[in-house]
Amino acid sequence: MRRSLWTRLMGVFLGVIVVGVITMVIAIRLTTSTHLQRRVLSDDVAQANALANLMTAYYAQQGSWSGVDEWLADTTTRPATQEPTAGMGPGMMGDWMSRWFQTTRSTGPLDDRVILLNAAGEVIADTGGASLDEQHPAAHLQEAAPVVVNGQTVGSVLVGSMIEPALNPADEDFLQAVNLSIFITAAAVGLVALILGSMLFRQITSPLRAVSQAAEAIAAGQLDRRVEVKTADEIGRLAQSFNRMAESLAQADVQRRNMVADIAHELRTPLTVVQGSLEAMLDGVYDLNPENIASIHQQTALLSRLVADLRDLALAEAGQLRLDWQSVDLEAVIAQASNALQSQALEKGVTFKVELPQGLPRLRGDGQRLQQVLFNLVSNALRHTPTGGTVKTAVEVKEDRVVIRVQDTGSGIPAEDLPHVFERFYRVDRSRARSTGGSGLGLTIAKRIVEAHGGQIWAQSWLGAGSTFAFSLPLVDRGEPPAPPGRRPVCPRCGQVTQDDWRWCANCGADLV
């Protein structure tokens, strides 16, 4: 049976309370009993000493212990508030009664048992009447109050707990009342602590239960579920983190749906053209001539480029983009990318410039991937620059980094679109016309490649004045990162061992996932 967190916390807390209350009751009870016994013994010793002084005077006057037992029996049974009568003469020991009254006034009423021993340790008087003429234990003689007359010990006095370690009925009643009060107080404190603990645990478990329910709802597909944040403590921060996670999941789900829709849109157009052209040729509407075949080939090339871009993006986002690290001549990389796009610039009537500083240093990286970045940035600039405009590639060395800028004189990018230009399938032109937009992956791939080289990429734009895309690369020798572990799979289509990333066959391009 699965128990809730609140039940387990309350069980543990209840056990702690029970153990604490029992320990507290036992400790306080033992402490109270010990201190009470010590106080009673101290009072008994004081009374024994006072009584010993009285017995000293008695023995000095009488010369013996004769009649002391009757006198003690009479005085201990007389109420402490009853003063001796005036008619008591010496024969009735009225003077001793008066002395006894004065002694009990200073030491308190003598309600305990009193034993008087002679010099030999024999009991000669016992108000309890239980041990007359008996030899008292020697250990008690060491604790007794001595009766000294003319420098000789003629007897000793024991009172109450000095005789045996026991409390009188009044002290026992007091101790029981104290123990009962301690038990009631401990039970009340434990009950209050249990109630407060239950409220505290409820405040802790309720938000956790809400988070758990929200997590189950999100797992069931309700990505709009959120948790209410009520506090600023750890529970509140947990709820905030959960809400941020849920928001990220919702955004990721939206991006996934948009990506699927974008991929379907990108594939639909060339596939529709290819299918329509082939059906027209089959129906005899189009002739099977080089012009029509070239149109179909152009659409298949577009499909191949889109698939390649998707492959590069998937590898880059998974951290599996393979880079061939070596010393790169950046000037040669820029020249190759510029030469590849020079004809496109001439065909469109756009001036294409390249400005390089003298003595451009070499850097560590993948020359082909860096050329791909430049190709994507320059082709993007040419695509958005009208006839008669200018596209310029410039390089600047700053300390330990090199900055490459691609600047155009196109229409520019609105400020609200600028933060999204590096997102996949994002286009400023919502019409998605292929004359003004590519596959929507070029800038995203460029960003991933630059970041894989330890660099940064950014964009600046002004409406009506053009845009500038720039990226920086470190000039330090970063070395080649270690290759991922694992053996190379065999392609099921061509039977070759792939030498590239394990997701794709480098020989025929088959998907190995």
- The CATH number of residue 444's host domain is 3.30.565.10
Residues 354, 288 share a domain: no
Domain end, chosen from 191, 222, 253, is at 222
Residues 139, 174 share a domain: yes
Q: What is the pLDDT, as a whole number, of residue 403? A: 93
Is 492 contained in some domain? no
Q: What is the pLDDT, as a whole number, of residue 55? A: 83
Is 109 contained in some domain? yes
Domain end, chosen from 292, 320, 348, is at 320
Q: What is the pLDDT, as a whole number, of residue 427? A: 67
Q: What is the pLDDT, as a whole number, of residue 202? A: 80
Which CATH number belongs to the domain containing residue 291 in this structure? 1.10.287.130
Residue 483: count of CB within 10 angstroms of its CB = 7
Q: What is the pLDDT, as a whole number, of residue 158? A: 85
Residues 438, 403 share a domain: yes
Residues 118, 59 share a domain: yes
Residues 147, 126 share a domain: yes
Report the chain's terminal Cα–Cα distance, integer Å: 43
CA 141 to chain centre: 68
Residues 328, 290 share a domain: no
Q: What is the pLDDT, as a whole number, of residue 423? A: 82
For the chain, the domain total comes to 3
Is 128 contained in some domain? yes
Q: Which residues of the chain have pLDDT under 70?
A: 1-2, 74-111, 129-133, 136, 138-141, 166-168, 427-439, 476-513
| Neighbouring residues of 256: CB distance < 8 A, sequence distance ≥ 6 | none
Residues 178, 236 share a domain: no
Q: What is the pLDDT, as a whole number, of residue 98? A: 58
Is 513 contained in some domain? no
Q: What is the pLDDT, as a whole number, of residue 407? A: 93
DSSP per residue, 74-136: HHHHS-TT-PPPTT--GGGTHHHHHHHHHHHHHH----S-EEEEETTSBEEEETT-S-TTPBP
**Residue at token pair 């492959």:** 311
C-alpha span between 471 and 198 (Å, rounded): 59
- List C-alpha distances in Å: 511 to 262, 423, 494, 499: 20, 24, 12, 14
Residues 53, 182 share a domain: yes
Is 377 contained in some domain? yes
Q: What is the pLDDT, as a whole number, of residue 457? A: 93
Residues 169, 264 share a domain: no
Domain end, chosen from 320, 340, 369, is at 320
Is 494 contained in some domain? no
Residues 401, 257 share a domain: no
Is 84 contained in some domain? no
Question: How many Cα atoms sit within 13 Å of 487 on the Cβ side?
Answer: 4
Is 500 contained in some domain? no
* pTM given for the model: 0.48
DSSP H or E run through 364: strand 363-365
| Domain coverage including residue 49 | 1-78+92-222
Residues 35, 181 share a domain: yes
Residue 422's nearest CA partner among 459, 463, 454, 468 is: 459
Residues 283, 184 share a domain: no
